[in-house]
Amino acid sequence: RCGTVAIVGRPNVGKSTLLNHILGMKLAITSRKAQTTRYRLLGIHTTEDTQFLFVDTPGFQQKHINALNKTLNRTVTQVLSEVDVVLFVIEPMKLGEADELVLKMLPKNKPVLLVVNKADLMGDKGNLLPLIQDFDLLFDFAGIIPVSAKKNLNLEELLQATREHL
């Protein structure tokens, strides 16, 4: 199996850390240069039976709507419509407006997994559930997966869940 996976989320939720840890230093094939006009190919993770192509999207701009940003926003929408799966990364203790802006642009016609990162920081997990459930009401996620990118917790499960939608 082979498919494309977009990783989206506001700055600082841990997208880069997640990617780096999924790819592993040795397997990483990263590029700073645009592979196409639409998206940057960030890396390929190959397992026995699956190849995951991770792609980046340009930032989504809502505050300053000028011609360039309009084009960029269209590009984001386009990329999200072309990938097979979207991983929407959040940091549960710090949900806010910036996350909601990303949430609003998620495609409604394809699998979006809610990746709840920084699970290692959650002291009392009971406090967290209502927060995530509130967020879950706003969108029909294909699944919700808690992970810690930094501590490599539950990343295999995340890949398994992603694989199911390729």
* Site residues (vs Mg ion, CB under 5 A): 15-16
User: Rounded to the nearest whole angstrom, what is the least distance from the CB of residue 106 to ligand GDP in the complex?
Assistant: 16
* Partner touching 87 among Mg ion, ligand GDP, none, CB below 5 to 8 Å by kind: none
Residues 6+ apart with CB under 8 A from 7: 15, 18, 19, 42, 54, 55, 56, 87, 89
User: Rounded to the nearest whole angstrom, what is the least distance from the CB of residue 11 to Mg ion in the complex?
Assistant: 7
- If one asks whether residue 86 binds ligand GDP (CB under 6 A), the answer comes out as no
Instruction: List binders of ligand GDP among 2-61 (CB under 6 A).
Output: 9, 11-17
* Partner touching 121 among Mg ion, ligand GDP, none, CB below 5 to 8 Å by kind: ligand GDP
- If one asks whether residue 118 binds ligand GDP (CB under 6 A), the answer comes out as yes
Crossing angle of helices 15-27 and 155-163, rounded to 10°: 90
User: Rounded to the nearest whole angstrom, what is the least distance from the CB of residue 22 to Mg ion in the complex?
Assistant: 13
CA neighbor of 53 nearest in space, from 73, 36, 71: 36
Check: CB of residue 119 under 8 Å from CB of residue 91: no
Check: CB of residue 46 under 8 Å from CB of residue 27: yes
Is 119 annotated in a binding site? The answer is yes
Is 56 annotated in a binding site? The answer is yes
Strands (E), 59-160: 85-90, 112-116, 143-146
- Site residues (vs ligand GDP, CB under 6 A): 9, 11-17, 117-118, 120-121, 148-151
